[in-house]
Amino acid sequence: MNCPNCKQDAPTVVRGMRAYCTACGAPRSLLDDTPVNVAGKPARIGGVAASVLGWVTLLGGLLVAFTVGALIQAIADAGIVGYLVGSFLGGFALLFGVLFLLGGRALRKTGTESEQSAHELAAFAVARRKGGSVTPAELSHAIRIPEPEAEAILTTLCKRGDGRVSLEVDDDGTLRYFMHEGPLRIATPGPSRPRMRVVPGAGASASPDTEDDDALAEAEAEEAQGRSRRRR
């Protein structure tokens, strides 16, 4: 959502109990969007919880299935009732455990992507506010993360190779990342156009090449006439 103050599509950042624009620092509503320092965290926490539940279900379920099956098999006079019950319980434990593990992995991936997207949006917003470039220190201050982490975010954006982020080093050694709204377009030489000689017609002017050829033809004609006169 655009900031009412700077009119930029910049995410918010939570400081204390209030939200602020990452680009201009103006106060914003907590309901505008998901703050950049919160984005992705609920999904990642849910992913970790689902993974833990998956391992508990898998390991604990298999242990329970083995124990119940062994007890039934020991109590029963004969047959395979214990094996069947144990296999049934173990299958359920395996099924739900794997589902929880896969769901947890998907949630963690979604959370990481949401966080990266929010960081990227904030980096571009800060760069627009700073005249097209941003340093790790400026991004760190804007979204409230350690400077090494901010530098890692900018470096990742620069390594994408899509031309949207380029790195330059200031005279004092400061790393400055220039952010471009779209991929850079590198001009490539087009196919060479074949030269065409235009014969001047009505209302057309002769090209320089044509004028030179005409002058040469006239000179050759005059020289030929001079040789014919001398022969006579």
Q: Give the start-to-end residue ranges of the domains of the chain.
A: 1-34, 39-129, 131-184
Q: Quick one: pLDDT at residue 194?
A: 39
User: What is 131-184's CATH number?
Assistant: 1.10.10.10
CB 89 within 8 A of CB 54: no
Q: Quick one: pLDDT at residue 224?
A: 59
Q: Give the list of residues 6+ apart from residue 232 with CB closer than 8 angstroms, or none.
A: none
- CA pair distance 116, 121, nearest whole angstrom: 9
206 or 93, which is more confident? Answer: 93
- CA pair distance 44, 159, nearest whole angstrom: 25
Please check the confidence at residue 193 and state whether its pLDDT lies above 80: no
| Model pLDDT for residues 117-127, shown as the tens digit of each residue | 888 888 888 88
Q: Which pLDDT band, with edges at 50, 70 and 90, does 184 fall under?
A: very low
Q: Quick one: pLDDT at residue 140?
A: 87
Mean pLDDT in residue range 159-183: 81
- CA pair distance 3, 20, nearest whole angstrom: 9
Please check the confidence at residue 106 and state whether its pLDDT lies above 60: yes
156 or 182, which is more confident? Answer: 156
Q: Dihedral, CA atoms, 1, 153, 167, 130, nearest 10 degrees? A: 30
Round the average pLDDT of the chain to a whole number and report it. Answer: 77
Question: Could you tell me which of 128, 152, 142 has the C-alpha nearest to residue 14?
Answer: 142
Mean pLDDT in residue range 17-37: 80
Please check the confidence at residue 210 and state whether its pLDDT lies above 70: no
Q: Quick one: pLDDT at residue 228?
A: 55
Question: Could you tell me which of 119, 57, 121 has the C-alpha nearest to residue 89?
Answer: 57
Q: What percent of the chain has pLDDT over 70?
A: 76
Encoding tokens for residue 178? 């220039």
Lowest pLDDT segment from 2-16, 27-41, 144-158, 212-226: 212-226
Measured over the CA atoms of residue 178, residue 154, residue 124 and residue 163, the dihedral's sign is: positive
Q: Quick one: pLDDT at residue 77?
A: 65
Please check the confidence at residue 32 and state whether its pLDDT lies above 80: no
DSSP state of 5: T
Distance between first and last Cα of the chain? 97
Place of tokens 């833990």: 52
Q: Which pLDDT band, with edges at 50, 70 and 90, does 109 fall under?
A: very high
Mean pLDDT in residue range 162-187: 74
- CA pair distance 39, 144, nearest whole angstrom: 13
226 or 54, which is more confident? Answer: 54
Neighbours of 127 (CB within 10 A): 24
- CA pair distance 140, 155, nearest whole angstrom: 13
Mean pLDDT in residue range 95-109: 93
C-alpha distances in angstroms, 192 versus 3, 166, 188, 197, 209? 49, 31, 12, 16, 19
Buried b (16+ CB within 10 A) or exposed e, 62-76: beebeebbeebbeee
Mean pLDDT in residue range 104-108: 93
Q: What percent of the chain has pLDDT over 90?
A: 18
